[in-house]
Chain A
Amino acid sequence: EDQVTQSPEALRLQEGESSSLNCSYTVSGLRGLFWYRQDPGKGPEFLFTLYSAGEEKEKERLKATLTKKESFLHITAPKPEDSATYLCAVYAGNNRKLIWGLGTSLAVNP
């Protein structure tokens, strides 16, 4: 069964304290892996798409990487405004539906 698992479930960082969020997946035929950010009371905001192992994408303090079994979202020198829930999702096989992880709730303290 296709599955996406995110860890940790929650993470609290001090401002400037870099860290990484993990998204591991077991799917047949990965077609794409997506990272989203969700703020309370809002829909998910698209961050990155990764299609093949070895691919990396960067945007400001965030960098996403992909291997054949997992993806990392690296956060460098986070700021309080980076506090949000980060969601990972994949397209697999012929399925048009996204398979979602449960998310990592990130809190960055000033």
Chain B
Amino acid sequence: GAVVSQHPSWVICKSGTSVKIECRSLDFQATTMFWYRQFPKQSLMLMATSNEGSKATYEQGVEKDKFLINHASLTLSTLTVTSAHPEDSSFYICSAGENSNQPQHFGDGTRLSIL
């Protein structure tokens, strides 16, 4: 089955640091990947759609200069949280699907804690 790998699984860093999270599709090519944020006991909130070879599409209210997305290949998308602050602490999850009607498969998420 389709496998999505996300790294790192846990990051703790100081305020002002930039943090990069990687999302890889291991056994399929993904022209589109998705980045979500999840707060405790809440459902997934879509942040942006990452498109291979072009700019990401951000959801309303998500700062594109704060959350930089790069999708340079068909198997890798990265999310960089720039100049992170404590309010950016959250659980970030990526997903990818083989095409627009197939289910999305998720990485195991990244727990980001900003001190």
Which of B91, B101, B103, B111 has the most CB atoms of chain A within a 10 A radius of its CB? B103
- With an 8 Å Cβ cutoff, the count of chain B residues facing the other chain is 25
B-side contacts of A45, CB under 8 Å: 106
B-side contacts of A34, CB under 8 Å: 103-104
Q: Provide the bound-state CA to CA distance between A96 and B105, in Å.
A: 14
Instruction: Using CB atoms, name the residue of chain B closest to A31.
Output: B101
**Interface residues on chain A, size class:** 20 to 34
Distance between A103 CB and nearest chain B CB, rounded to angstroms: 5
Q: B52 interface residue, CB < 8 Å from A?
A: no
A91-B100, A96-B49, A97-B49 as given contacts; A41 in contact with B111, CB under 8 Å:
yes
Q: Find out whether the CB atom of A97 lies under 8 angstroms from the CB atom of B34.
A: yes
A32-B101, A96-B32, A97-B34 as given contacts; A44 in contact with B106, CB under 8 Å:
yes
Other 8 A-B pairs with CB < 8 A, given A43-B107, A91-B101: A31-B101, A36-B106, A43-B4, A43-B95, A43-B106, A46-B1, A96-B32, A100-B43
Query: Could you list some 18 contacts between A and B, CB below 8 A?
Result: A32-B103, A34-B103, A34-B104, A41-B109, A43-B107, A44-B106, A46-B103, A46-B104, A49-B102, A51-B101, A87-B43, A96-B49, A97-B34, A98-B34, A98-B46, A101-B43, A102-B42, A102-B43
